[in-house]
Amino acid sequence: MSSQPLPLTHARVLKIALPVLLSNATVPILGAVDTAVVGQIPMPEPIAAVGIGAVVISAVYWIFGFLRMGTTGLTAQALGEKDACEVSALLARALLVGLAGGVLLIAAQALIFRIAFAASPASEEVEHMAQSYMQIRIWSAPAAVAIYGLTGWLIAQERTRAVLVLQLGMNLVNVVLDVALVLWAHMGVEGVALATFVAEWSGLALGIWLCRDGLLGAGWRNRARVFDPARLRRMAALNGDILIRSLFLQGIIVSFMLLGGRFGDVTLAANQVLMQFMMITAHAMDGFAFAAEALVGQAVGARNLAQLRRGSRLAALWCAVIAAAMSLLFWIAGPALVRMIATDPEVRAAAIHFLPWIAVAPLLQVLTFMLDGIFIGATRSSDMRNMMALSGVIYAVTLLLALPLLGNHGLWLAFQVSFLARGLTLALRYPALERAVAAGT
């Protein structure tokens, strides 16, 4: 590590963000491929089943998203403090937590599925297909959760090209197996699930290889450092706050998908098609949020308020540019993209009808994604927890008022309001973050 901090420039932000942007954008694109593959079956039930199954599994996995976020913030701050031993120890902690968390999910799969289907109003055929999908996907939980920790560790060090290699490797395996198992072997929904299962375990092996330099250092073998009580308590408190925040967030996302089933399988399938656009947007903007995480975390570790402000401003500027570009893309090319994904005429028509919600979404979400990145890098997890809870309440109230009056339009309104509320409430807490950094606390 250099004794002098690197200058904070547009080029540095783009060097961090662009590989993450490409990497993250491939995640929902892969979801769109899954949807498009089963969409070649000329009926809405397989699309709806993959949609429900993927949303439930992703929501359950992302409960452990605290591992990615917490690892990024802590590792970036350790880098700012120039503590190489702690950087290596954090990699070991992340892997241990990830593997253990995945095993826990496998053990709890019956309860998870029961809760998911109790909340789902979809048809019996859709629920049966979705259960088959989830019963395969759950067995890759240890790999999927551990990859969160590896990714966070790499992002903190601005090694985002490695993150891109990891994601592209997983996606290549997944797409090839999607085509082979669904279109050639005609395995349907089960083929989509098996393709992702193999891809996630392959991804863990590749991720460990990419992080091999951290495993060659002394820190991860230092049991006293890895299991240091004070550091473990800090990690547990941080991760606990982010876990609660993630539960609120996933509750919003899952309720959105499941409540769409009230309006029939066609609307549910249309919402699933449009959700692919939402995820593409979210992951694209996350590239600059991740840049903010790394830069802010290093600034907090170094107790450098000027660096914090400049890193935040540069990342926010580029995030706004991306948001405007995505919004324009969806206004112009949205209908054509819907037709590429879905073949069923009713699903296509419904998705195009609700497309304006997708076109405005990026502009409504810029503040949310940037402040998430800033607060993660600063490890201000209690603020994230509290503001997410408040935003969840605002979402629920909007839902209760809008759903009976506007139907699926009301569902989309409440969903977008939840993002806007997260950004505005975190903005109210930002001055306190700066004061803490200035005071060195």
- Give residue 7's Cα distance to chain centre: 29
Contact of 287 with 18, CB cutoff 8 Å: yes
Q: At residue 86, what are phi and psi to the nearest 5 degrees?
A: -70, -35
Q: How far apart are CA 422 and CA 242, in angstroms?
A: 14
Q: Average pLDDT, whole number, for the chain?
A: 87
- Give residue 48's Cα distance to chain centre: 21
CA atoms within 13 A on the CB side of 243: 10
Q: How far apart are CA 404 and CA 136, in angstroms?
A: 36
- C-alpha dist (Å) from residue 299 to 87, 117, 146, 377: 16, 45, 27, 9
Question: What is the pLDDT, as a whole number, of residue 1?
Answer: 42
Contact of 300 with 437, CB cutoff 8 Å: yes
H or E segment at 190? helix 188-210
Which pLDDT tens digit goes with each residue over 132-189? 888 898 999 999 999 999 999 999 999 999 999 999 999 899 888 888 887 787 777 8
Q: Work out the average pLDDT over 284-304.
A: 91
Q: Is the pLDDT of residue 3 over 50?
A: no
Q: Is 8 left (phi over 0), alpha (psi -120 to 50) or beta?
A: beta
User: Reduced to 3 states, what is the DSSP secondary structure of residue 432?
Assistant: helix
Which pLDDT tens digit goes with each residue over 30-66? 666 777 777 666 666 677 777 778 778 887 887 788 8
Which pLDDT tens digit goes with each residue over 205-247? 999 999 988 887 666 777 888 888 888 899 999 999 998 998 8
Q: How far apart are CA 251 and CA 246, in angstroms?
A: 8
What one-letter code names the amino acid at 392?
G
Structure tokens at 23: 């990497």
Contact of 163 with 149, CB cutoff 8 Å: no
H or E segment at 301? helix 265-302
Say how many C-beta atoms besides its own lie within 10 A of residue 324's C-beta: 13
Q: Is 423 left (phi over 0), alpha (psi -120 to 50) or beta?
A: alpha
Question: What is the pLDDT, as a whole number, of residue 395?
Answer: 95
Question: What is the pLDDT, as a whole number, of residue 382?
Answer: 93
- Return the C-alpha torsion angle 275, 346, 265, 267, nearest 10: 50
Residue 358 pLDDT grade (very low, low, confident, very high; cuts 50, 70, 90):
very high
Residue 304 DSSP label? -
Question: What is the pLDDT, as a whole number, of residue 392?
Answer: 94
Q: How far apart are CA 197 and CA 174, in angstroms?
A: 8
Which of 137, 148, 68, 141 minimizes the C-alpha distance to 100?
141
Structure tokens at 224: 């006293």
Structure tokens at 184: 């050639």
Which of 192, 170, 171 minimizes the C-alpha distance to 181?
192
Question: What is the pLDDT, as a whole number, of residue 132?
Answer: 84
Question: What is the pLDDT, as a whole number, of residue 25?
Answer: 64
Which of 88, 80, 136, 148 minimizes the C-alpha distance to 303?
80
Of these ranges, 50-54, 191-195, 264-268, the one predicted with the greatest mean pLDDT is: 191-195
Question: What is the pLDDT, as a whole number, of residue 222?
Answer: 79
Q: How far apart are CA 38 and CA 26, in angstroms?
A: 18
